[in-house]
Structure 1
Amino acid sequence: MNLLEDEWLSVIRLNGEQEKLKGLWRITEGVGNPIVDVISPRADFKGALYQLLIGLVQTSFAPKNETEWEKYWIAPPDTNTLKNAFLTVTEAFSIDTDKPAFMQDYDLLSDKQDVDIASLLIDTSGGGTFFVKEGTTENISPYWASIALFTLQINAPSGGSGHRTSLRGGGPLTTLVLPDETKQAASLWQKLWLNIFTQKEVSALSGNTELKDLHNIFPWLAPTRTSEAGKKDFITQPEQGHPYQMYWGMPRRIRLDFKATEAGTCDISHESTEQLISQYRTKNLGVNYSSTWLHPLTPYVRDPNKEAYSVKAQVGGFSYRHWLGLVLEDEKNHKQAAKVVQIYLNSRQEIIAGDYQPRLWLFGYDMDNMKARCWYETTMPVFPIPQDSRISVQGFISRMLDAATEVALDVRSTLKQAWFSKPKEVKGEISFTDAQFWQLTETEFYRLLAQLINHCEDEQQVNDLFNQWKKILRKEALTLFDHWALSSNNEDGDMKRVVIARRQLEIWLNAGKNIKALVA
């Protein structure tokens, strides 16, 4: 079985028709009725499938330069061209051989104890699961077991003694640039190609482009670089692998067990399959990637006094308050957008030009060590920002976000004053009000941000936009306070306390440090 050649991946076309592709090179087939998306049984698998296809195209069909990138943006390669490219790496995508197999350890690990297949899923822990009822995932088709394995390898959280995290660290956030679909649906090819680097751009990524042998890209094609303490090359550095290995990092030593398989229904896809996999074998001390690998699809925190680390999903998810560090650069918090976003803003937006409004698709697990607390994904706009205006725009956005953060904290603080006679002694968080505040102000933030980018050189216009933002923050803050002040959270319904707290909120809304700083 081979992921590139076999018929297993379902897709949907522009007219709504669904089909299975026999050969992944068919993703560009049907110019008049293109494929627009993949069909996935799980949200995390969909994110992984996009990364698999992006990695496949990047690895085997990277454009030589921006001219070639533009050529294939305008018109995708035909099926035969893409097939010839994909077949150069087909050996890396076999899944059921005793020889090297996709994302599986080079050794068979036959001396290791079998583990239930459900443990491949990140949202499982021991015998129970967080999002899926125990016992409902016992048998998986070979193809979806392979995608589960790929999902684990590229996101691997802490896994106990010697079970390594992913190349990006445990539970990294992934950010992909998606095409403008305000006028018509984009093809799957456009969604992938917008995240592809030219060969020149690849040379600036982490890794050693001189290491061209396939095992330097797909680590399962050679004996595993194990990471026993004290061993030479205990940590795998960028100079010891090709940049493309970042798409195919393999920190976990795992072999799927194909021996005791039979026909039946896959518990993931609910489709009939000739084979089912119910267990796998694993061993610790796999590839231990250094923090100096900077994955091009992930934003990073790059504090000059610390090692870089990937931005993670977090409790409460993402909103416009994170926009600066995910699209541009949040200097205050040392957050830097993923390289793929930087390349779009520095190059692709000029190539595409026109009235084009792409989006950023971000997704990932919120992890508590080995436990998956939640899967988060959302999209946010990516505005075209001229390079010569970027620094000033970043500064303006930072001030808008600082003011909003200050107001959200003011609302939370005054609500506690309204609810409790001794608010400082109250235990527990009421941060749910923060999430509501960010949601209430999000649409207006993006509306003003679009105008700010267009008028960032006009001081009067900027000040006018800042004043609009102040009014929006004030209105939504008071609305939120009034909504919750006399709710069941109020311990005794004391109106005097509510009135005093509201008056305090109004004072802060007028005199807050970051509110007053909203001046061009």
Structure 2
Amino acid sequence: MTDDKPFNLLLDPWLPVSRRSGEASVIRPAQIVEDIKDNPIVGFMWPRADFRVASFEFLIGLLATACPPETHRAWVQNWLKPPSVEQLDEAFAKIADAFWLDGLQARFLQDYDTLQSDSEYAERLLIDAPGESTVKRNADLFVHRGQVERMARSTAAIALFTLQSWAPSGGAGNMTGLRGGGPLTTLVLPEERGSLWRIVWANVPNGSAIKNADKTKVFPWLAPTVASGKDGTDVRISENAHPLQCWWGMPRRIRLVFEKNNDQVCDLTGQSDTVLVTGWQQRPYGPKYAGWIGMPYGAGTVHPLTPRYQQKTGAEWLAIHPQPGGIGYRHWAGIVVESADGNKLPASCVVTWRNERARDVRLSQAPRLLAAGYDMDNMKARGFIESEMPLFDAQDIERQKNIDILARDCVGAATQIADLLRSSVREALFGKATVSVDVTLLANLRERFWEQTESDFFAILHEAVTTSDDVALKTKWFRILAHAALREFDLTVTLEPETTMQDAKRFSAARKRLSIAVAGKGTEGKKIMNGLGLPVLTDKKTEKIV
């Protein structure tokens, strides 16, 4: 920034990006299509992974609000021939008045009113920064306090958007985000090192551009805050909010504190700015979002980037959240395809891609799915989870349905055997003693099993695209799971010189139980085979498995 004029997120350059050539630059949003043929922008260059994913959400939401494809045909046209920088500038200019970060006008994602309160440290805009209680107890051992005292306006903008979009619970009156605290974000990545435009456009839902009359219901900071609390009102679709507010939820009442720079730089990026953010003020009981996750896909009110679940049929729909251990193929049913019981649904961006868009684009490689978000333990961030996995899309619709069934069955069998492995090891090591299945040794055992079989799972799905012999593929998968389970058991339960005869007998009995089951025999084995739709194996075939 060259002066201290108010900063606008659509008119000013602020997004740090890299081009295919390796060149780094800072752009305004409309420039994502700049030089797209010869040297396209391919990624963000924020120093934090959460900022990178939030930047995708920001741009997807911006396009969904200002200039979404109205039809599938329109989406294909802009995939093949992207709009120009000038066209995007023109579309964004219509809503630029909602994107001032500072100044005297309404401020982006900040409370409509000036707040009278003590100032928070700037670093507490970061979801993983130590909170007040942690600092008082001197418990900030891994993420230390005082690392970020000032931010450039660009850094503060993405930090603010990240916090408002994913806001975790934060004590009395600190409301969670529209999708609940710390939701999982899933994005379709069409091409490795593909243009930023195609990544963003692949995930923009069809819809209608914002109308001027709806601005205050789309951008909540343009009007007095809909406060919650004893006398407050929930933010609901059609009543006091527009469906497009799913991209611009503002659960926290925040006002950034700006100070003129005195030869200092942003503590996160090293960037110079004439104005820095040194803190922020807040008030409790901001907007409380109700019922947004439960709306049907067609209504446009489910957040298009987040999968959801219900604990039982007919229960409230909730956003899926990252969990310890990360995201892997065991989550396939729920983040890529609908679960067998219909209680887990993938994000609509994934559904739209796989059911419509994937068949009208030509890619040189299989697209991938990015899954990311904070693993939250109430108010504490245990870690930022980010993983990628391949998406396999058959051109034939019926074959795709069969592959999805195959994938669900394979994950189901792996879950059964993972649980059986954990149970057998617990039985071997601890006998009848009461030991939680979540004890570290058993939890790590289960995680290793998933890790050991992940590449094989994707290899099976890759084969399924070119062959329709699902019985052979399921049989092959069952053998893989059997070998992995027995291998992990043998690595964990070992006979030592000091092992007693009683312990050895218990080890042997536990392994025999596991061996019988992964051979497809016994009550447990037959249940696994039935889940895969395979006949119970004969003794001769059993020998090949174990």
TM-score, normalised with respect to structure 2: 0.86
Query: Corresponding residue for 2:347?
Result: 338
Query: Corresponding residue for 1:519?
Result: 533
Q: Is the 8 A contact 1:215 1:221 kept in 2?
A: yes
Shift of 1:124: 2.2
TM-score, normalised with respect to structure 1: 0.90
Shift of 1:411: 1.8
Q: Which deviates more, 132-141 or 335-344?
A: 132-141
Q: Is the 8 A contact 1:211 1:241 kept in 2?
A: no
Instruction: Write out per-residue CA displacement over residues 350-380 of structure 1, whole angstroms, 9 at most, x where no aligned residue.
Output: 2215665211111011111111111101111
Q: Equivalences for 1:58-457 in 2 at 5 Å?
A: 58-109=64-115, 111-127=116-132, 128=135, 129=140, 132-181=143-192, 185-199=193-207, 212-231=213-232, 234-239=233-238, 240-259=240-259, 262-293=262-293, 294-302=302-310, 303-332=312-341, 334-353=343-362, 357-385=366-394, 386-389=396-399, 392-420=402-430, 422-425=432-435, 428-429=439-440, 430-456=442-468
Shift of 1:126: 2.1
For residues 53 and 487 of structure 1, do their structure 2 counterparts lie closer, same or farther at Cα, with a shift above 3 Å needed? farther
- Give the secondary structure class of the aligned counterpart of 2:70: coil
Shift of 1:243: 2.1
Q: Any unmatched runs of 5+ in structure 2?
A: 1-6, 294-301, 535-546
For residues 257 and 38 of structure 1, do their structure 2 counterparts lie closer, same or farther at Cα, with a shift above 3 Å needed? same
Query: Corresponding residue for 1:509?
Result: 518
For residues 229 and 188 of structure 1, do their structure 2 counterparts lie closer, same or farther at Cα, with a shift above 3 Å needed? same
Query: Corresponding residue for 2:509?
Result: 500
Figure out how many residues of one structure are paired with residues of the other and give that number: 501
Shift of 1:198: 2.2
Q: Is the 8 A contact 2:393 2:400 kept in 1?
A: no
Shift of 1:196: 1.2
Query: Corresponding residue for 1:205?
Result: none
Q: Which deviates more, 345-354 or 495-504?
A: 495-504
* Structure 1 counterpart of 2:46, from 40, 47, 52: 40
- Give the secondary structure class of the aligned counterpart of 1:264: coil
- Give the secondary structure class of the aligned counterpart of 1:279: strand
Instruction: Write out per-residue CA displacement over residues 204-261 of structure 1, whole angstroms, 9 at most, x where no aligned residue.
Output: xxxxx88842222211111111123244xx1111113222211111111000011475
Query: AA paired with 2:277?
Result: I
Query: AA paired with 2:288?
Result: N
Shift of 1:503: 2.3
- How many angstroms apart in 1 are the aligned matches of 2:263 and 2:313? 55
Query: AA paired with 2:424?
Result: T
- Give the secondary structure class of the aligned counterpart of 1:213: helix
Query: Corresponding residue for 1:24?
Result: 29
- How many angstroms apart in 2 are the aligned matches of 1:309 and 1:487? 46
Query: Corresponding residue for 2:542?
Result: none
Instruction: Write out per-residue CA displacement over residues 82-110 of structure 1, whole angstroms, 9 at most, x where no aligned residue.
Output: 1111211111111111321111111111x
Indicate the RMSD between aligned Cα atoms, in angstroms: 2.4
Q: Are residue 467 (structure 1) and residue 475 (structure 2) matched?
A: yes
- How many angstroms apart in 1 are the aligned matches of 2:328 and 2:16? 31
Shift of 1:333: 6.5
For residues 425 and 162 of structure 1, do their structure 2 counterparts lie closer, same or farther at Cα, with a shift above 3 Å needed? closer
For residues 307 and 485 of structure 1, do their structure 2 counterparts lie closer, same or farther at Cα, with a shift above 3 Å needed? same
Query: AA paired with 1:410?
Result: L
